Amino acid sequence: MKTFLALLHKDLLVGWRGRVRLVGLFTYSLALLLLFSFAVGPDTAALRDHASAYLWLAVLSASTLLLAQSFQQEVEAGAIEGLLLLPVEPAALYYAKAVANLLLLLFLAFATLPLAALLFSLLPAGSLPVMFLVVALGAAGIVAPGTLYAALTARLSSQQVVLPVLLFPLVVPPILAAVKATDLVLEGDAMGELPAWLGLLLVFDAIYWSLSGPLFGKVMEE
Question: Are the C-beta atoms of 182 and 57 separated by less than 8 Å?
Answer: no
- Structural domain boundaries in the chain: 2-221
Give 10-residue mean pLDDT values along the chain (222 residues): 74 73 86 84 75 90 88 68 69 88 92 85 75 93 93 81 90 94 85 90 95 83 63
Q: Provide the b/e sequence for 111-128 (b: ≥16 CB within 10 Å).
A: ebbebbbebbebeeebee
Distance of CA 208 to the CA centre of its chain: 13
CA angle 21, 147, 206 (to 5 degrees): 130
